[in-house]
Amino acid sequence: WWADPSSLKHRINTEGYSELCSQLFSPSFKGVDSFYVRVNLNMEPHGDPPSLGVTCDDIVHVRDARHNPVLRKILQKL
């Protein structure tokens, strides 16, 4: 299991962060249900419970993050 903070990779992207903030605080922003994540550690696909095996620097596409239909209806009303 990962336990060494010094092994994390970090890249500052001030321009991207600024753009993200402006989108998040825009009155027309309704949220997203899909996004990409760059993995910062290795995870084996074994264990209890089983997990997705990923390697550091993999890019994972998370789809339908708001799959809960009740939550989706609430968020659509906002």
What are the extents of the domains in the chain?
Answer: 5-77
pLDDT at 34: 78
Cβ–Cβ < 8 Å for 31, 22: no
pLDDT at 21 over 70: yes
pLDDT at 75 over 60: no
- Segment 22-50 mean pLDDT: 81
pLDDT at 39 over 60: yes
pLDDT at 15: 92
Picking from 53, 52, 48, 58, the residue whose alpha carbon sits closest to that of residue 9 is 58
According to DSSP, the residues that pair with 61 across neighbouring strands are 36
Read off the pTM.
Answer: 0.46
Q: Is 54 helix (H, G, I), strand (E, B) or coil?
A: strand
Cβ–Cβ < 8 Å for 57, 38: yes
Q: How confident is the model at residue 53 (pLDDT cuts 50, 70, 90)?
A: confident
